[in-house]
Structure 1
């Protein structure tokens, strides 16, 4: 049934929230104070029309917006959008009783996403390649993507052909595509086991199209050129499908904040170090102990360190920090700590840092909720929160990164 709604505010996922008999109804692609009509099913509604648009409403950048589930907020004025992302961080901190200075959001440029995860599936009508419709497994076939770097957007027809070559299953699968200095690095997951003939065909195709690497389920099919990513002058080849900050400019911004805060530290522990985005930059000014649970990522970091010049010592340690966090006694050997955990945060590790005497800490997070929890732990251990900076790495999505900088005053003897 189509009903008229007035939108009260935006929810955490970017949906508008209206209230009917004190019950929230979630409506995507709307803005606060708009009057809209929408078709309701339980607590969600599909937008039909905007009767009274907000002055903050702007034309979307992509023809697929509202159909493709990749973006939620292309229709929102950019300044208001950045303020909304900052507010997400502020509210997460307030929920834990933390009143701290929060900087303005570091903006994310269009066409800057160097790493995208596409969905693909073979159908009778042809190969689908794109993103899932919101709250659905339906793949929306895309012809453009204004968040992606031009090298990825221009390669969409080629990637669709490649998906057809490697689709050894009728089921949907994923292709992580990374634009590197040496070409596209393509990692498929769940595409099925390839025959020898299919492997040769796919390998020839990648070579002909100038790709850097193709892997399926972690196995390298062909690697004409090693994918290369620059971490502050140190060149790294990440493992197939390995984690990489999605936007180089966002990574630079976060690293700049971390490096400035830890500038005087002689020895730094980089926890959840990945392939070295922070560790190898920090090694320009400090000795670094890089701790990471993923062996291929740690090996990539170590190779990047050994092939670079002008770096101080970097020592790698493979360790599952969720099961075995560095203890406060181990941490006391360092002048500073940076940690950048997955979305689940670093609760147990934060408890150890809180008990330590490490003077400076930089906490990097892609989840304001778990960041706030971890900061509460650190503050209870005597740390002081000096600054929090939101970083918009995932343009037009509800996700926001943040860098929090902390100090612990020296105890008087």
Structure 2
């Protein structure tokens, strides 16, 4: 049965929260101060209409908003949206007893995402390409995605018609697409191996898609040109499906914050270094040891470092830092350490850093909760937080990237 509720505040996932007799109720796509009509008949409350909209409510920029689960906050105006993102970081730090000042969020242009992960599903006559619905396995066949760089968004429709030979008839196929300087780098996982004839047909359509490389489960099927990304002018060819910061604008902002945090350090360890987003830039002024679990990522980094101009010699180490963090004795001699772990954070590594003689640490994180935990460990080990700066890398979502710099007192 429909009912009217008042929305009090936003939750950390971007849902509006209403106080009811049964407790807090989370209502997606609503804003504080709004009066809304909902239906609680299903598994989750459904927004039927906004009775009294908030002044901060704006029109979404995408026709799929509200159905597609990729964005949660297209209906919120820019200023309160950025304040919400900053508030996520402030709250996470306070939960750990940290009262560090959180700087204003660095905004990123909306149509700036250069790396995207689609799901594809075989259907009669072709394939569906898009994202899952919110809290569901239902796939939304998207026609547009305004957060993508224009060249990548323009490829959605032609890619849908090109993909079927690669899409599994059983379950979803993962399609990672990276917009590089030389064309699209398309990495297919959990797909099917096309026949030689189908590979020829895929290759014939590759030019229209501005394709650089097509790979299936890490193996290259088509190579028209080496995909290339540049870090401060140093060209890198990423391995298929490699992790990369979602947008060039956010990457540049984070890289500058990392450089500022490291300061004049002459010997730096870059942990969870990936393909060298920070290591290659740091190598302009410091001797860098880059540590990463993926050998393919290290190979790409080493190749780029050898070919790059104006960088100091760079050392690499393959290591799963979650299982085997660099120990305090191993960290001896480093002036600064940078770490950029997955969402789970770097608890074990932070504990070793707290016991080490390292003077400066820069933490990069996409999860305020695990960042706050790691910063608390470092603070208890004698580090003082110099700055915390959020970067709105994940536009319109409830996620926020952050860079924090610490120094021993």
Instruction: Give the structure-1-normalised TM-score.
Output: 0.97
Structure 2: unaligned runs, 5 residues or longer: none
1:208 Cα shift? Answer: 5.1
After TM superposition, the runs of 4+ consecutive aligned structure 1 residues lying more than 4 A away are none
Matched position secondary structure for 2:72? coil
1:201 Cα shift? Answer: 2.3
- Does structure 1 conserve the Cα–Cα contact (< 8 Å) formed by 2:168 and 2:190? no
- Does structure 1 conserve the Cα–Cα contact (< 8 Å) formed by 2:7 and 2:35? yes
- Distance (whole Å) between structure 1 residues aligned to residue 168 and residue 122 of structure 2: 9
Q: Which residue of 1 aligns with 2:85?
A: 85
Let me know the Cα RMSD of the aligned residues: 1.3
Q: Which residue of 1 aligns with 2:257?
A: 257
- Distance (whole Å) between structure 1 residues aligned to residue 111 and residue 385 of structure 2: 33
Matched position secondary structure for 1:270? strand
After the TM superposition, which residues 141-180 of structure 1 pair with which residues of structure 2 at under 5 Å, given as runs? Answer: 141-180=141-180
Post-superposition CA distance 1:198-223 (Å, at most 9, x none): 23322332245431010111111111
Post-superposition CA distance 1:79-134 (Å, at most 9, x none): 10000000000000000000001000011211100001111112126421111111
- Distance (whole Å) between structure 2 residues aligned to residue 40 and residue 167 of structure 1: 37
Q: Say whether residues 1:341 and 2:348 are aligned partners.
A: no
Q: Which residue of 1 aligns with 2:390?
A: 390
Q: Which residue of 1 aligns with 2:317?
A: 317
Post-superposition CA distance 1:253-278 (Å, at most 9, x none): 01101112213111000000000000
1:193 Cα shift? Answer: 2.7
- Distance (whole Å) between structure 2 residues aligned to residue 44 and residue 8 of structure 1: 18
After the TM superposition, which residues 50-89 of structure 1 pair with which residues of structure 2 at under 5 Å, given as runs? Answer: 50-89=50-89
C-alpha distance 148-373 of structure 1, shift in aligned 2 (>3 A): same
- Distance (whole Å) between structure 2 residues aligned to residue 98 and residue 360 of structure 1: 18
- Does structure 2 conserve the Cα–Cα contact (< 8 Å) formed by 1:24 and 1:43? no
- Distance (whole Å) between structure 1 residues aligned to residue 305 and residue 201 of structure 2: 35
Q: Say whether residues 1:128 and 2:151 are aligned partners.
A: no
- Distance (whole Å) between structure 2 residues aligned to residue 314 and residue 273 of structure 1: 12
- Does structure 2 conserve the Cα–Cα contact (< 8 Å) formed by 1:357 and 1:408? no
- Distance (whole Å) between structure 1 residues aligned to residue 342 and residue 6 of structure 2: 37
After the TM superposition, which residues 216-365 of structure 1 pair with which residues of structure 2 at under 5 Å, given as runs? Answer: 216-365=216-365
Matched position secondary structure for 1:406? strand
Matched position secondary structure for 2:121? strand
Matched position secondary structure for 2:40? strand
- Does structure 1 conserve the Cα–Cα contact (< 8 Å) formed by 2:165 and 2:192? no
1:406 Cα shift? Answer: 0.2
Q: Which residue of 2 aligns with 1:379?
A: 379
After the TM superposition, which residues 182-197 of structure 1 pair with which residues of structure 2 at under 5 Å, given as runs? Answer: 182-197=182-197
Deviates more, 1:369-378 or 1:7-16: 7-16
Matched position secondary structure for 1:264? coil
- Does structure 1 conserve the Cα–Cα contact (< 8 Å) formed by 2:122 and 2:168? no
Q: Which residue of 2 aligns with 1:19?
A: 19
- Distance (whole Å) between structure 2 residues aligned to residue 385 and residue 125 of structure 1: 57
C-alpha distance 371-41 of structure 1, shift in aligned 2 (>3 A): farther
Deviates more, 1:156-165 or 1:253-262: 156-165
1:42 Cα shift? Answer: 6.7
Deviates more, 1:208-217 or 1:78-87: 208-217
